[in-house]
Amino acid sequence: MRGIEVVLEFADELVHTTTGKHLNDLQRTILRESWQEAKKTYDQLAQEYGYSANYIKQAVAPQLWRLLSQGLGEKVTKINIRSVLERRMASQNYPKTHNLATRRLTANPDRARAAPEYSFNEQPLPSVEPELPDGSVPLNSPFYVERIPHESRCYEELLKRGALIRIKAPKQMGKTSLMNRILFYGAQQDYKTALLDFQQAEEIVLSDLYKLLRWFCANLTRQLKLEPRLDEYWDDDLGSKMSCTLYVQEYLLEQLKNPLVLALDEVSILFEKPKVAQEFLTLLRAWHEKAKVVSLWQQLRLVMVQSTEVYLPLNINQSPFNVGLGIELEPLTTQQVQDLVQRHRLMFNSKQLAELIGLVAGHPYLVRLTLYHLAREELTLEELMATAATDTGIYSNHLHRHLWNLQQHPKLAAACHQILSTTEPVELEQVQGFKLYSMGLIKLQGNRVTFSCDLYRRYFQEKFLDG
């Protein structure tokens, strides 16, 4: 009998060769269990691994069998997977002829629950050109790190009627990359998808509820490739919120045969306009509540992306921030950083890995920027560390942007100066703390804060205290 880890390697290589994708952790778990003589039901797997049965039955398992069917060139099911794979492996004399460099580097039955642990002496992954991090990570990028278990939880939630998913993290921590994957997953389910980015709204629009809701409706209508009919539904006597609600319900949702995934990126921008934000956010909560009693609103699946905590006085029963699924992205773990090191074909010992994490603390953008320059052999790790917190190092553009923002907002600069004045976490005025958090400069420790990584402390120490 073939070892299950060899089988998983073979299946993963087949899928990657034909589709460019790798099996995710939950798919590998289902394949592992389906290989056994005494197969567990999907209901049993869902209960054991903490997922809903419908999510596994309707999403994960069907996609797994489709991928394997593509890779094997014949229809694969839970029933015949073992016989089909054994026959194919025998015909290819696997594993003798397979390329060891393409092996998946982990073999842990708890993969569905935890991130993999790689050893430092593994060989690097197959050759991949380094990719300069710029904006969100492309869907097909080999440098996207799954934020286990957030992706699977979001995909599972998206299948629920009237779903609301909230993603929160500072800038450049991977929010938009995760949001894009949720939208892509929705499209794979034949859902309609739309993305409204509040960064694209003009100041005059953000400052006026009437203009904002019409911008919202017009933008959404065009993305759904429908003819705008705002004037037919807008009624001054009913008000903008009711007009917007009727337009979405009676015109947009009424015409859609499938669910609509609507992603709202950079919602935090609205927090600067408290009155408008309160009206808009309570409207979103009202729509979410409508899904409990009105079938048409169950078609709407909302994804909200924000960079900071809400510092608006919202009624708990009217706020969209205490319902649905909340996801807060954390810095990359040591294992995830190590995974990225290997994807860049680099070899770090434990001391070098600790130095990198000590400098940028698992910040996804900064980790990838570091590895990009090292992979291109532009400098050594020692040279990088020596110039990191200077105006000539590889982080200079990133640091200059932060410095410029602080110089434009004296209260934020003063808050940074306060953090620098001690080695202990300090307590800041709430709004200033939330704004610095949204920039990614600090991490919250209860009611107190400190710099999120040593790079920022060293750079701003020189600019604000030593300069």
pLDDT by residue (tens digit) across 107-121?
Answer: 333 433 333 222 223
Asked whether the beta carbons of 217 and 244 are under 8 A apart, the reply is yes
* pLDDT band per the 50, 70, 90 thresholds, residue 294: very high
The answer to whether residue 267 scores a pLDDT higher than 70 is yes
**Token match 């389906």: residue?**
34
- Nearest 10 degrees: Cα torsion 427, 430, 435, 440: 40
For residue 148, give both structure tokens: 């286990």
Could you read off the pLDDT of 389-407 as tens digits, one per residue?
A: 999 999 999 999 999 989 9
* pLDDT band per the 50, 70, 90 thresholds, residue 128: low
The mean-pLDDT minimum among 6-20, 62-76, 83-97, 254-268 falls in: 83-97
Preceding amide of 95 cis, omega within 30: yes
| pLDDT at 86 (0 to 100) | 84
Give the Cα separation of 247 and 232 in Å (integer): 9
**Phi, psi at residue 401, to the nearest 5°?**
-60, -45
Give the Cα separation of 283 and 277 in Å (integer): 10
What secondary structure letter does DSSP report for 136? S
Domains of the chain, by residue range, sit at 4-102, 150-328, 334-387, 397-466
* pLDDT band per the 50, 70, 90 thresholds, residue 467: low
Give the Cα separation of 192 and 262 in Å (integer): 8
Closest CA to 310 of 450, 434, 436: 434
Give the Cα separation of 311 and 303 in Å (integer): 20
Higher pLDDT, 53 or 283: 283
| pLDDT at 455 (0 to 100) | 94
Mean pLDDT for the stretch of residues 348-362? 92
- Which superfamily does 150-328 belong to? P-loop containing nucleotide triphosphate hydrolases (3.40.50.300)
* pLDDT band per the 50, 70, 90 thresholds, residue 370: very high
Higher pLDDT, 26 or 118: 26
In this prediction the pTM is 0.74
What secondary structure letter does DSSP report for 362? T
Higher pLDDT, 357 or 466: 357
The mean-pLDDT minimum among 139-143, 247-251, 290-294, 352-356 falls in: 139-143
- Residues β-bridged to residue 325: 165
Strands (E) located in 177-219? 192-197
Could you read off the pLDDT of 410-460 as tens digits, one per residue?
A: 999 999 999 998 888 999 888 888 889 888 899 888 789 999 999 999 999
Bridge-based pairing of strands 164-168 and 192-197 is: unpaired
Asked whether the beta carbons of 245 and 287 are under 8 A apart, the reply is yes
Give the Cα separation of 9 and 37 in Å (integer): 20
Closest CA to 299 of 337, 256, 341: 256
Residue 433 vs residues 161, 294, 360, 430, 464: alpha-carbon distances, Å: 36, 40, 20, 5, 18
Give the Cα separation of 116 and 112 in Å (integer): 9
CATH hierarchy code of domain 397-466: 1.10.10
